[in-house]
Chains A and B, each alone.
Chain A
Amino acid sequence: MSELPVSARLYIASVAVVALGAIAAGPHAEIDVAVLVLLAVLFVLAESISTMVDGGRVGISPSSSVSLAAVVLVGPVGAAIVGMCAGAHIRRQQLVKRVFNAAQFALAGYAAGHVFLATGGQTGVPGTESFPYILVPFALAVVSHTLVNALLLAGLMWCLGAVGPSPRAVRWRPLARLELSSFGYGMVGLFIAAIWGVVGAFAVVLVLLPLFIARWGFQQYVAEQQAHDATLATLAQAVETKDYYTRGHCMRVARAARMIAQELGMSAERTQSIGYAGMLHDIGKLGVPTKVLQKAGPLTEEEFAAIQLHPMRGYEIVREIGFLDETLDGILHHHERMDGRGYPMGLAGTDIPESARIISTADVFDCITSTRAYRRARSVEEAIAELRRHAGTQFDPRMVEALITAVQREGWSTSDPVEPSTSDVFETAETTQQDHDDPGLPIVGERDA
């Protein structure tokens, strides 16, 4: 964000001017200065402690509950002043961002304050008689606070030219979750305002304590999730150490599978379980004798039967993990074909679980684009042509097209063919003479041969 376009600078400046104008216009008479100062300090503190949620794309923090408490306690202008203080937090941030943040919070607070007053709310510490009817104007205030925030941000994105995705491409579920949580944080503001009359500024501490603990809990969860994924990836790769050329295969299949799932608009949760399936799809290969896996030339009936077992073996290994069924399906059926000539069950068409159709496409795509001991890697274009040729018979055309769209947009880094090193640690690794994933090899469609 170092080089902002002129339009964005103008936009931020005008938002800031409007915010300052609103504050200057007043009225300032009814604002309790002591309360205002305390709120501002607490707001800055909360904003400083806050960390980013949702991968750092949109930051929401308990500070919005302080801002909404200000709406009730000190009215629209007071809320705007408190919001202005968002620029003073002690996290490291660029000046432009600070200014925009401050103006955004100020305008949101100002708007929420007026909505609150217009729908029947009263400025000041709410007394017993205000409840429960105050909930209505307050909820409306929270909604308008969120709305103004979102609109101002959308305006900035538009100026930055970052508005690309059509409404269909926006992933609504995470967005809804985010909005819901920011609504929740907002409602807590009423809580702060209500017990402000009882314990004063200590109210904020009492109210924000559970919120920060919640945040801490989520951080623990995210850290544990990352640790789990790292461990899973490492163990899946450990199984591949036997062969130089398939190293990293599982990681790349997982990536391609996630790309397809995202392209199809699947939820984050489904995308993740399909990623797991990609990571673990060949874990059962360990149960197949190495000499069969690496054999050059046509396979005998028994050898082919042994190869056909690997999805089942993989399924058996991971069955006990609390994965979604999609992951297990993806592993078990990743060698099924659309025309029903695949294994282990010979399912056809849409009888094959969606996740398996994704894995099968991603699997072969990576196989073609990586180097094998017996051939060089082929280009992405060749792989696309190959996938298209087999779409409908081997692959689901939907998955193939989704992968192609995603690859053309995001690009695909083909595996770097590391030559077998002579390092002591990997002296035992061997190279495959043919890969069971490779299309056009005798294994595929061997059944009716």
Chain B
Amino acid sequence: MRGADITPRPRRSGRECGLSRSGPATWLVVGGATIIAAAALLWTLRTGFQQPLIALVFGVVIACGELSRITLPGNREIAPIATAGGIGYTFLTVVGGQAAEHSVPQVIAVTTLGLVLGELPYIAISRQPRYVDLARRLLLVALLAVLFRPLVPYLGVDPPNWWLTLTAMAVLLVITWTLDFMGAAWVRAQRLRTRYGAALADEWTAHSVIGVAIGSSGILIALASSVMGVTAVLVFLIPLLVTQVAFRRFAEIRRTYLQTVRALSRVTEVGGYVDHGHSRRVSQLARSLGRELGLREGQLLELEYASLMHDIGQLSLRDPVPQGATVFAPPGEQRRIAELGSAVIRETGVLDAVAELVRRQCEPPEGVGDGPPPLGSRIIKVANAFDDLLGQEPDASRVDAVVDRIRMDSGSEYDPRVVAALARLREQERL
């Protein structure tokens, strides 16, 4: 990783598209979705579209929703309006007093066409979607349709038994969404090489709230369409659109936040305190180690902030530490830099956890006095030592030597668990 990072390339968004770095789970999800979509399309083209006007309205809504897709923190692409449109079309039992007669394949076909149509402008300007997230959007609707549409005759159509219908909708939404989370976590665990449990919990945190908004909007369109006809679809767009704007803004500011910390932590390099690219390399290694040790996304973000800013305390020094490598500085000096940096970070009033990680970054695994330092601090200690010891010559034999050197101090200076994770990264050629 070192060679590539010596000259940091400008990354505007840090977002990866397409199918890069995908495991078998990705291929399974995307392949499955493609086959289902193609089969549904062929079937529907052969039998013809029932109630084409309604299908058209929902198709357009799904296309517009896909066009306005957003990316949540953690590179999660979602299209709330498209998904809600698909759910609404699935749950449609009565439209303006008339029974809705569309079949399962038609739901899938309309959703497919809408999604593809909405993606076309992006593909035209070569901003490819994350295919796995796109496939999941389709699979969610498809699964829901397979489970719900056969129930429609039993729910009573004229007049419908609304309470029974509502319960069925809610239960099925929970089931399909749970399966969706599990699939998403599986893909994510393989892509980021993290643990399945942590990935599942992360998916839940990231999607649950907006998922409730999407699901209830989907139910709403279906219910309201029974009275209002297709106008319902237009009115329902308003609340979900507002929600989507809020989440988009949140994702943007989260991105800017990370960029700000990344950029401003470089002032230590510009000031000549540390080696060029040191903070960034340490933060990348720390994140890999954190994933290897099963940290949650929130903890990883704190770890990233802390490792980017771990040397910020050097700004208060009159003279830079020789070559900026704190690992060679006397322990007292190291601790003082950590304390100074932590004081700076605590000043923000919002990053107390990060300040604590920075404060205890140089303590041995059993700590000094008040118990062992947090795992994040122990990770930063190893990552920092690795980068400092590696120096300017990142060849394979030197990497091995550095790992061995750190391993010698395992237990006394470094946390054995973290050192073991470092060794695993080395075995997988990921250093």
Residues of chain A whose beta carbon lies under 8 Å from any beta carbon of chain B: 126-128, 131-132, 135, 181, 184, 187-188, 190-191, 194-195, 197-199, 202, 206-207, 209-211, 213-218, 220-221, 224-228, 230-239, 241-242, 283-284, 286-287, 313, 316-323, 425-426, 428-430
Contact = CB atoms under 8 A, between A and B. Distances in A.
Interface stretch (B138-146, B246-254, B375-383, B411-419): B246-254
B231 to A, nearest CB: 4
Nearest to B270: A287
B213 A131 contact: no
A323 B264 CA distance: 13
Contacts of B309: 235
A206 B220 CA distance: 7
A213 B257 contact: no
Contacts, number: 195
Contact of A199 (B162, B209, B228, B240): B162
Given A198-B227, A283-B267, A317-B267, A128 B242 contact: no
A194 B232 contact: yes
Contacts of B264: 232, 235-236, 283, 317-318
B77 to A, nearest CB: 17
A248 B309 CA distance: 21
B235 to A, nearest CB: 5
Contacts of B63: none
Contacts of A132: 228-229, 231
B239 A239 contact: no
Interface stretch (B116-124, B179-187, B314-322): B314-322
B361 to A, nearest CB: 17
Nearest to B163: A199
A207 B239 contact: yes
A191 B236 contact: yes
Nearest to A218: B246
A319 B312 contact: no
B224 A322 contact: no
Contacts of A320: 10-12, 259, 262-263
Chain B residues touching A, majority SS: helix
A322 B12 contact: yes
A284 B242 contact: no
Contact of B260 (A194, A209, A228): A228
A231 B348 CA distance: 5
Given A210-B216, A216-B209, A224-B254, A317 B224 contact: no
A319 B266 CA distance: 12
Nearest to B265: A235
Contacts of A224: 250, 253-254, 257
A221 B97 contact: no
B254 to A, nearest CB: 6
A284 B263 CA distance: 12
B372 to A, nearest CB: 26
A426 B263 CA distance: 24
B271 interface: yes
9 contacts: A128-B227, A209-B213, A210-B213, A210-B217, A211-B243, A213-B209, A221-B250, A317-B267, A425-B316
Interface of B: 10-12, 96-97, 162-163, 166, 209-210, 212-213, 216-217, 219-220, 223-224, 226-229, 231-232, 235-236, 238-240, 242-243, 245-247, 249-250, 252-257, 259-267, 270-271, 309, 312, 315-318, 340, 343-345, 347-351
A191 B220 contact: yes
A228 B162 contact: no
Given A132-B228, A199-B166, A228-B257, A221 B235 contact: no
Nearest to A202: B166
A214 B213 contact: yes
A275 B145 CA distance: 51
A197 B316 CA distance: 68
A191 B232 CA distance: 8
Contact of A131 (B163, B227, B262, B312): B227
Given A184-B238, A209-B212, A318 B263 contact: yes
A425 B343 contact: yes
Contacts of A131: 96, 227-229, 231
Nearest to B241: A184
A218 B252 CA distance: 12
A230 B257 CA distance: 10
A429 B315 CA distance: 10
A187 B263 CA distance: 44
Given A131-B229, A209-B213, A221-B253, A321 B224 contact: no
Nearest to A236: B264
Given A227-B350, A313-B270, 7 more contacts: A135-B231, A209-B212, A221-B246, A320-B12, A321-B262, A321-B263, A425-B340
Given A230-B348, A239-B315, A284-B270, A210 B239 contact: yes
Contacts of A126: 227-228
B243 A234 contact: no
A195 B220 contact: yes
A228 B243 contact: no
A217 B246 contact: yes
A194 B270 CA distance: 62
A217 B247 contact: yes
A128 B212 CA distance: 28
Given A214-B239, A238-B312, A428-B318, A317 B348 contact: no
A236 B344 CA distance: 10
Given A199-B223, A210-B213, A210-B243, A428 B316 contact: yes
B271 A287 contact: yes
A191 B242 CA distance: 16
Given A320-B10, A428-B316, A234 B347 contact: yes
A218 to B, nearest CB: 4
Contacts of B252: 322
Contacts of A426: 316
Contact of B213 (A188, A213, A286): A213
A321 B256 contact: yes
A428 B312 CA distance: 15
B345 A234 contact: yes
A20 B257 CA distance: 51
B267 A194 contact: no
Given A126-B227, A317-B270, A217 B349 contact: no
Contacts of B345: 234
Most chain A beta-carbon neighbours within 10 Å: one of B163, B240, B257? B257
